[in-house]
Amino acid sequence: MSRGGYSPRFLADYTARWVDADPFRTERARRLLTAADVVTLDEVAPDREYAERFLRSYGITGKVATMIDGGPAGVLYVGMAMRDTPHVPARDLAVLRALRRHLTPLAVEQLTRHREQMASRADWRLTPREWEVARLAAQGLTNRGIADRLFVGVDTVKKHLSRVLDETGCASRVELAARWRQWEHPSGARNGTATADIYSG
């Protein structure tokens, strides 16, 4: 499993085919999240198409989310995915409500860090796929490892990595990794939106 408990395959599929169909990224979801403390997938997307065509194929039977107000720093979206239950259990709703009340300081810190990272990368004109390759290369993955993670060929990775190094002005993967680490621990302040997903299963 990977970020928030999601598999690399799930994340790759989501990024490639489903991110624009995610009902939690809609204006309707934003309105519901602003008005209520927690919102379920059934409330956001009663037609269930996203759940049936995408989530269920990965064993996810439901989602619930909340939005934490970070004040001037922005807002933090926190989501929880369910497995093996048709409805979100009352216990999980209570957990998310409790998290919402106690995570404001963390939300401000996360949003500030996220904005600094985005600002420091603003000069890089990379495609979403090139950002993925850059991130994985900076984490130390080999070309084969990146190819396996992204479900592409090694030659495709080499092409993307060459473009990344040209655009960033980095002479090597080592330099790219060093610059990436600086972004992971930035110093400054900013304004924006970030996400955190929890996998319950």
**Could you say which residues of the chain have pLDDT below 70?**
1-5, 114-122, 183-201
- What confidence score (pLDDT) does residue 2 get? 40
Domains and CATH numbers, the chain: 3-115+191-200 (no CATH), 120-184 (1.10.10.10)
SS (HEC) of 136-165: HHHCCCCHHHHHHHHCCCHHHHHHHHHHHH
Alpha carbons within 13 A on the beta-carbon side of 114: 18
Angle between helices 128-138 and 154-168 (to 10 degrees): 90
Helix (H) or strand (E) holding 46: none
Regarding pTM above 0.75, the answer is no
Task: Find out whether 85 and 119 touch, Cβ atoms under 8 Å.
Answer: no
Q: How many whole angstroms separate alpha carbon 199 and alpha carbon 14?
A: 15
